[in-house]
Structures are given as C-alpha cells and as structure tokens.
Amino acid sequence: MSALLYLLGLLLGAAIFFYLLSLYHTGVDKLSARRKGTHCRSMEIDPTLMEIVSRQAFPRERICPICKAILTYDDVLYATRVEQPKGAKILIHGCKYCYRAHPEEKA
Ligand SMILES: [Zn+2]
C-alpha cells in the first residue's frame, strides 16, 4: 500500500514539475518575442492629441481657444453671434490677452 502511495506521489510530483517547466518556457518565449517587438516598432504618440485629452479632464481649466491663455472664472471671451442657415454659430475673437477691438489704433 505504501509503495502505491509512493508511486502516486512520484507521478503527481513529476506532473507538477513538467507543468511548471512548460509554464517557464512559455513565459521565456513571450518575453523574447516582446523584446524583439519593441526594437522593431516605435510607438508614435501625437502630443497635441494628448493635450486635448488632458484638457477634457474634470475639473478642467478654462483656456482661450485663440491664444491658449488660462482664464479665471471672471475672464470673458469676446465673441459674435453669427446667424447661419443651419443655425446660429458663435465666432470667438479672443480673450482679454489676445483680443484687440481695433488693432490699427494700437499701431
Ligand atoms: Zn486669448
């Protein structure tokens, strides 16, 4: 009876050993494939796209769409409402930092 238990334990141990050995080789193969892959293809990230995503995070800053100045809650944008066939549009002229009502007078 004890010889049978010994044989069963030996078989179980061998099965576990070969299972772990196969897991090890699978992991080594995946790692080597990943290392080869990173050398070939370079990851390209568009920085302007990242900026847009970060701006959409809540609570987001108020940013002038013309000059990208960070606006406080009290700063206003200068804009004109333009009626169009598909509905009204807002034409943004700028903020207090970039908008000049009559630029020829300043020069
Ligand atoms: Zn501005």
Kindly report, residue by residue over 48-88, the tens digit of the pLDDT.
666 655 555 667 788 999 999 999 989 999 999 999 999 99
Distance CA 88, CA 34 (A): 53
Which tokens sit at 105? 């007078």
Which residues have CB less than 5 Å away from ligand 1 (the ion)?
A: 64, 66-67, 69, 94-95, 97-98
The candidate with the shortest Cα–Cα distance to 55, out of 67, 46, 65, is 65
For residue 82, the Cα-to-chain-centroid distance in whole angstroms is 35
- With 0.75 as the threshold, say if the pTM is over it: no
Distance CA 86, CA 54 (A): 31
CA 86 – ligand 1 centroid, Å: 27
Name residues whose C-beta falls within 8 Å of residue 76's C-beta, 6 or more positions apart in sequence.
95, 96
